[in-house]
Every structure is written in C-alpha cells, then in structure tokens.
Amino acid sequence: MKNDFINVALPKGRLGEKVYSLFEKAGYPCREAVESSRKLVFENPEAGIRYFWVKPSDVAIYVERGAADIGAAGKDLLLEYGPDVYELADLRTGICRMVVAAPKGFSDDFSGTLRVATKFTNIAREYYRGKGRDIDIIRLNGSIEIAPILGLSDVIVDIVETGTTLKENDLEVVETIFPVSARLIANKSSYRFKNAEIRKLAEAVGKAVNQE
C-alpha cells in the first residue's frame, strides 16, 4: 500500500463509529467508511487518511506491528496486553470501568482460593497479586456474568458501562479497579517517520474531543 497515508485501525462497532466521527470533525472525513457494511478498508487521498476496521481487541496488535500507524483502543485492552505503542490522547469516549463484581451480598472471607472468571487475566492477576490474595483464574471469552450464577466462579473481573448487565443478573460491583476510556495510540516508528502528520492529526482530534 502507498505509504503517504496515515493508516488508522478503528475498532469495529459503536466505539469505532464514535472515534471515526471525532476524526471526521478533525478534518479527516471518509464517509464511505461508516456507510458501507462489508468493506474493511477505506481511504481519502485528499486528507491523506486510510481507515480500516478490525476487531477491537486486535487494534493494538496492528499498531504495535506497524500495519497501522495509529488506532483507537480501550485502556482496558492496553493494560491487559501491554503493547509497545505510544498513547497520544484520551479520546474520552467508550467510558466504562474495570470492576470486581459478585452475586449480591458476597463478601470475600479470605478462606481458600478465590475463583475469578474473566477475559482480562493479566489485569485480574495483577490486581489480586497487589492484594496478596490467592486466586484461581478462569479464562472466559464473553458473557462473563454467567460464571458466578452457575457457580463456576466466586467473582468476575469485567468492564461495566451502564451496569444493566450486572443488575439483570443479580450481581453487584464489589470494587472498581480503574476507569476505562478509549485512547489514541501510535506505532513507535510511524511516530518518528510520520511525525508531523501524526502530531497534526493528534492535535486536531484532541480539539474535536474538547468540543464534545
């Protein structure tokens, strides 16, 4: 692919559409990117931008390896996978929090090993290591909330946005681990070699974020 574009990895879904609209406001429009349903790569040569849609959990991989110059990824995924990228800006969207949740009334009596179901195994391990608590991690890929209901785990470590999923499954937040929002990230060598272009974009996107 031609190299004078800024290649942007967008997370497929609602968050990606929100991020795209920030880029559009920042002067990098490419309407087709949000209007076409199956195509994955879109470019606007005048604006020097190329967008592609990838699975949210893959954005950081594309950026770390330089297949994308920049991208938008949740802080949850950045902390879980620890990619070697620059974090350029907080996009202040995709806001949620990483929590420990459990069936209503649960309290950890510190007896035995705590069974923790999660997609975020590194975050969970780190969090409980900091507390000196022995845990058994049960790695799941989704619908984490069902684990304590079926007795597969005592607690879950997961993201909560509105709280509806927890509520509808009789679970509650035990503790918030950290707040989450989407971040603009950049490949380290792209940031060096396309420095002026990327900084210009990051500044314009930052302004669009401030106008929200």
Q: Considering the rule CB under 6 A, would residue 170 count as an interface residue with ligand PRP?
A: no
Answer for which of 60, 160, 171, 184 binds ligand PRP (CB under 6 A) is 160
Answer for which of 27, 48, 66, 163 binds ligand PRP (CB under 6 A) is 163
Query: At residue 12, what is the residue type?
Result: K
Residue 138 and residue 32: Cα distance in Å, rounded? 41
Tell me the closest approach of the beta carbon of residue 113 to ligand PRP, in angstroms. Answer: 23
Q: Considering the rule CB under 6 A, would residue 164 count as an interface residue with ligand PRP?
A: yes
Judged by CB under 6 A, which stretch of 42-50, 58-66, 97-105, 156-164 contacts ligand PRP?
A: 156-164
Answer for which of 32, 161, 170, 203 binds ligand PRP (CB under 6 A) is 161
* Cβ-based burial of 95 (10 A; exposed 0-12, middle 13-18, buried ≥19): middle
Length of the chain: 212
Q: Which residues contact 206 (CB under 8 A, 6 or more apart)?
A: 89
For residue 38, the Cα-to-chain-centroid distance in whole angstroms is: 22
Judged by CB under 6 A, which stretch of 73-81, 126-134, 155-163, 186-194 contacts ligand PRP?
A: 155-163
Q: Which residues contact 57 (CB under 8 A, 6 or more apart)?
A: 77
Residue number, nearest CB to ligand PRP: 142
In this structure, are residues 48 and 6 in contact, taking their beta carbons and an 8 Å threshold? yes
Binding stretches for ligand PRP (CB under 6 A): 142-145, 158-165
